[in-house]
Structure 1
Amino acid sequence: MGYLYIFGTVIFTVYGQLMLKWRIGKYGSLPDEVWDKIIFLLKLLLDPLVLSGFLSAFLAAMCWMAAMTKFDISYAYPFMSLSFMLVFILSIFWFNEPVTSFKVIGMLLVVSGIVVMSQSA
């Protein structure tokens, strides 16, 4: 059951990040003027999908607290790096973000680190 909590943390984190990026992209860039920034941010806060991203972050935190009852943090935390990998992969398809050799090498290093650190349990 503990791994399900870690999985929930990762999935809810990834969903929240992708949802916020997608919706913020629909509204454009942050304006320069202070009042316009406030209006811009209020519009974002009223967007139901932005709110779902915040709810997702809350659910990720709940899953993480549950995971902390099952594992040492030094064992569980490296699995959070999977969120970097999933955001990278999904952003390629969803946002047409570029794939570079440095990004791929970095992702492979992250995966290698997860494998190495998970062997200590």
Structure 2
Amino acid sequence: MKYLPFILCTVMTNAAAQLMLKQGMMLLGPASFEGVHPLLKLIQIVFSPWVFFGLCVFVISMASHLYVLSKVEVSFAYPFLSLAYVAVAVFAYFVFREDLNAYRIAGIAFICVGTVLIAQSGRGHAGEVMSVSNSSAHSSELPNETHHLRR
């Protein structure tokens, strides 16, 4: 659980990036490639301020996620990314006035319950598993190397 702040940083930066990309695409309007070279249109999209900053925040999110993956099991860390769906849905409701109906609320509730269950499954040993598996990999190599030296 000591890596939970980094996991939540990954979740929140992922959600923030989604919201920035949405804002950028709303300001640009529907992406029409008619009469414009597709590469030029893509450059226009990527370098519009909201989209560009959204992509930069995605890079930060990915860096945070890579750090988390180096410390805990992927089966523990990855499901937390589903909380980004929760954050995006809630913020989209307030910022973009998107619909948040009963089905979406029920889905959000299921995601939250699932994430809590996964968090409980890793309580106290999520980081330890990586270090144990790494040390067992190193110790399993030693007898093979020793056996090779005896030949």
Per the normalisation by structure 1, the TM-score is 0.90
Give the equivalent residue in structure 1 for 2:79: 78
Deviates more, 1:38-47 or 1:52-61: 38-47
Give the equivalent residue in structure 1 for 2:91: 90
Give the equivalent residue in structure 2 for 1:59: 60
Instruction: For residues 20-78 of structure 1, give each alpha carbon's deviation from its aligned partner in whole angstroms, at most 9, with x where no partner exists.
Output: 00110011112152636544432222212211111111111110111112211111111
Q: Residues 17-36 of structure 1 correspond to what in structure 2 (within 5 A)?
A: 17-31=18-32, 33=34, 35=36
Give the equivalent residue in structure 1 for 2:111: 110
Query: Tell me, what secondary structure is at the counterpart of 2:31?
Result: coil
Deviation at 1:4, TM superposition (A): 2.2
Q: In structure 2, what is the Cα distance between the partners aligned to 1:8 and 1:118?
A: 15
Does the 8 A contact of 2:45 with 2:51 survive in 1?
yes
> What residue identity is the alignment partner of 2:111?
V
Give the equivalent residue in structure 1 for 2:4: 3
The count of aligned residue pairs is 121
Is there any run of 5+ residues in structure 2 with no aligned partner, and where?
123-151
Does the 8 A contact of 2:33 with 2:41 survive in 1?
no
Q: In structure 1, what is the Cα distance between the partners aligned to 2:46 and 2:94?
A: 26
Does the 8 A contact of 2:24 with 2:49 survive in 1?
no
Does the 8 A contact of 1:2 with 1:66 survive in 2?
no
Q: In structure 2, what is the Cα distance between the partners aligned to 1:36 and 1:97?
A: 32
Q: In structure 2, what is the Cα distance between the partners aligned to 1:96 and 1:36?
A: 33
Q: In structure 2, what is the Cα distance between the partners aligned to 1:90 and 1:77?
A: 21
Are residues 58 and 74 of structure 1, via their aligned partners in 2, closer, same or farther at CA, if it must alter by over 3 Å? same
Is there any run of 5+ residues in structure 1 with no aligned partner, and where?
none
Per the normalisation by structure 2, the TM-score is 0.73
